[in-house]
A and B are shown apart, each in its own frame.
Chain A
């Protein structure tokens, strides 16, 4: 554990709390892509199956439970409790175009060919692109509420901080995991355009609005 990893995890946790709090307080999930949230639940479910096979630390186990529980809670809020506010007309990204290639790639490029390892690899690949339905939705409507922007910024920062953590770990332990690193870089790059808009607009008090 190092400062980059810890702040990365905290950014991830803050993102989830911002999202749940926004939906709960406004009693609405307008502007939120249910499809991205379904992909995140699939990511955590396939990655954290190792909860039953390998123990790392209390911290790891606790965070895995939190990520799993909150991802399913988010899906419940979007598809059940506040279903009437779900903007499904704008949430039209075809998620099979992300799931199937991630699965195919996980079967082809992995560290070790067994059930848990392929699912772990699938979760890494899928996570790198899981935000696309949400970014697609923002681009379709041409705008995002400030709170949704804060959510996206925290969520994007998490993997960027993990990249610093991987550099640090390589320097101090000689540890590296190419699959996680390449996917993490792809994931962070997908947020770059958003980061630019966030810094130049949202932080200056303006609404995130895309040029027409």
Chain B
């Protein structure tokens, strides 16, 4: 599930 705290990909 996607985290809403920040995206870790470019």
Contacts and interface: CB of A to CB of B under 8 A. Distances in A.
Interface in B1-10: 1-2, 4-10
A9 B10 contact: yes
A63 B8 CA distance: 12
Interface of B: 1-2, 4-10
A53 B6 contact: yes
A175 interface: yes
Interface string A164-191: 0100000000111111100000000000
Interface in A104-122: 111-112, 117, 120
Contact of A179 (B2, B8, B10): B2
14 contacts: A12-B10, A54-B5, A56-B8, A63-B10, A64-B10, A67-B10, A111-B2, A111-B4, A120-B7, A176-B1, A176-B2, A178-B2, A180-B2, A180-B9
The B contact surface, by secondary structure, is loop
Chain A at the B interface: SS class? helix
B6 A5 contact: no
Interface residues of A, number: 24
A177 B5 contact: no
Nearest to B6: A54
Contacts of A9: 10
Contacts of B4: 111-112, 117
Contacts of A174: 1
A71 to B, nearest CB: 13
Contact of A60 (B1, B2, B10): B10
